């Protein structure tokens, strides 16, 4: 089963529970538009290499398409189609005036020089420029792309349009129109989801423990902010393995250690070395999978001891695992809700760019908190109303948000 097939299972369950016109799901299951481009790059050795790029615009029903651009050797059209579909649902759940999109280039950026990377980036924007823009499709960073790459993209698009257009892309550096609070935004949304999930069962944060799989941007900020919220972090992991400490870990100090040790947390003083699998199976209140997709499967779901799983990564839990977890009474806060903090603050950046008026970090954090709490409450109440999992409830919320505009716009 691939990621797209996975995503359709809770969607179909949601449709049956709602008794909704099947046309709603059919429309968002198929992207409105896809584009495949070839980008020639003159390499440092004088040869010309052709790179393939993609952009999939899943939906513009609620507003401009929104979604990141990733640089990875395994990027494919099927992948960006699926991720664009998830972005449509994520924006609808968050209550944002956006549709969904995703894009990428088939490349290992580590093998390119800075000059080659810039030429490739600008060439990609040149090729997809006719279908993007601040009121059409708003890209953002994703896997292996960052504020520097966003800066090249914004500069190239501004040259094409003949005007300064910071609102066409988000995830920029502060000096180029980026938003304060963006770096920690996804992790902050995960933390808010953790606290709200605990609240549904009357559990105080200081009485809960947590394990976080993944210590990249999302995982590290999730761990830091969950720690700040009062939970005890007892296990962390990254690509090099995991660490465990029953007395608790300070993620800020772990991050400082990693910065001095090739970005890896292995060997952190006072901890026991454990595998990534053992981090997932840790005896904790809350588990945050914030690494890769397909981490919790039918093979290990029954070994999960956490009472709550809050998905920081996209698609970390398979449908088969969902069945087991639900049977065992585990509340899974799905990715399209839990990691929506990033796109929420991307929306704030877009608004600030359009208005040319910028908010304080305190304003951003306060507004993001309000959006995330409202979205969580909406999904939780929907799960109670229909007696379904939080994942199915999130899709019900998304479908409800999309159905009426579809009818009013004459699509149904």
Residues marked as catalytic: 102
Q: Which two tokens stand for residue 50?
A: 């052709």
Distance CA 384, CA 323 (A): 17
* Residue 293 CB neighbours (<10 A): 17
Helix axes 22-29 and 3-18, enclosed angle (nearest 10)? 160
3-state secondary structure of 188: helix
List all residues 6 or more positions away from 247 whose beta carbon is below 8 Å from its beta carbon: none
Residue 54, strand partner residues: 36, 104
The CA angle 3-182-106, to the nearest 5 degrees, is 40
What DSSP assignment string belongs to 224-284? HHHHHTTPEEEEEEETTEEEEEEEEE-HHHHHHHHHHTTT--TT-TT-EEE-HHHHHT-S-
Please tell me the number of Cα atoms within 13 Å of 338 on its side-chain side. Answer: 31
State the DSSP H helix or E strand holding residue 71, giving kind and residue range, or none if neither. strand 65-72
Spacing of C-alpha 356 from chain mean position: 26
Q: Are 27 and 406 in contact (CB under 8 A)?
A: yes
């Amino acid at each position: 089963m691939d990621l797209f097939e996975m995503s359709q299972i809770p969607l179909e369950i949601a449709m049956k529970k709602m008794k909704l016109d099947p046309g709603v799901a059919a429309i968002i299951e198929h992207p409105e538009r896809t584009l495949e481009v070839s980008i020639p790059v003159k390499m440092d050795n004088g040869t010309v290499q052709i790179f393939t790029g993609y952009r999939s615009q899943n939906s513009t029903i609620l507003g401009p398409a929104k979604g990141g651009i990733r640089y990875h050797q395994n990027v494919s059209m099927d992948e960006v189609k699926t991720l664009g579909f998830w972005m449509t649902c994520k924006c609808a759940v968050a209550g944002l005036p956006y549709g969904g999109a995703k894009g990428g280039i088939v490349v290992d950026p580590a093998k390119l020089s800075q000059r080659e990377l810039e030429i490739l980036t600008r060439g990609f924007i040149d090729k997809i420029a006719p279908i993007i823009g601040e009121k059409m499709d708003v890209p953002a960073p994703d896997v292996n792309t960052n504020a520097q790459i966003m800066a090249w993209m914004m500069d190239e698009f501004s040259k094409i349009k003949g005007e300064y257009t910071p609102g066409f892309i988000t995830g920029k550096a502060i000096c180029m129109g980026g938003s304060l609070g963006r770096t920690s935004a996804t992790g902050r949304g995960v933390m808010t989801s953790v606290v709200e999930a605990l609240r549904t069962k009357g559990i105080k944060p200081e009485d809960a423990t947590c394990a976080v799989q993944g210590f990249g941007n999302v995982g590290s900020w999730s761990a830091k902010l969950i720690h700040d919220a009062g939970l005890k972090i007892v296990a962390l992991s990254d690509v090099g393995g995991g660490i465990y400490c029953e007395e608790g870990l300070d993620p800020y100090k772990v991050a400082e250690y990693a910065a001095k040790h090739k970005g890896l947390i292995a060997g952190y003083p006072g901890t026991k070395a454990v595998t990534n699998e053992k981090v997932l199976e840790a005896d904790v209140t809350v588990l945050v999978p914030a690494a890769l997709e397909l981490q919790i499967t039918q093979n290990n779901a029954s070994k999960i001891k956490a009472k709550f799983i809050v998905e920081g990564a996209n698609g970390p839990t398979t449908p088969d695992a969902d069945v087991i977890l639900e049977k065992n009474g585990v509340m899974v806060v799905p990715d399209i809700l839990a990691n929506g903090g990033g796109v929420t603050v991307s929306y704030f950046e877009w608004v600030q760019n359009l208005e040319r008026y910028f908010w304080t970090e305190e304003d951003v954090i306060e507004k993001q908190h309000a959006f995330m709490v409202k979205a969580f409450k909406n999904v939780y109440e929907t799960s109670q109303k229909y007696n379904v999992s939080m994942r199915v409830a999130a899709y019900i919320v998304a479908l409800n948000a999309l159905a009426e505009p579809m009818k009013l716009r004459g699509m149904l």
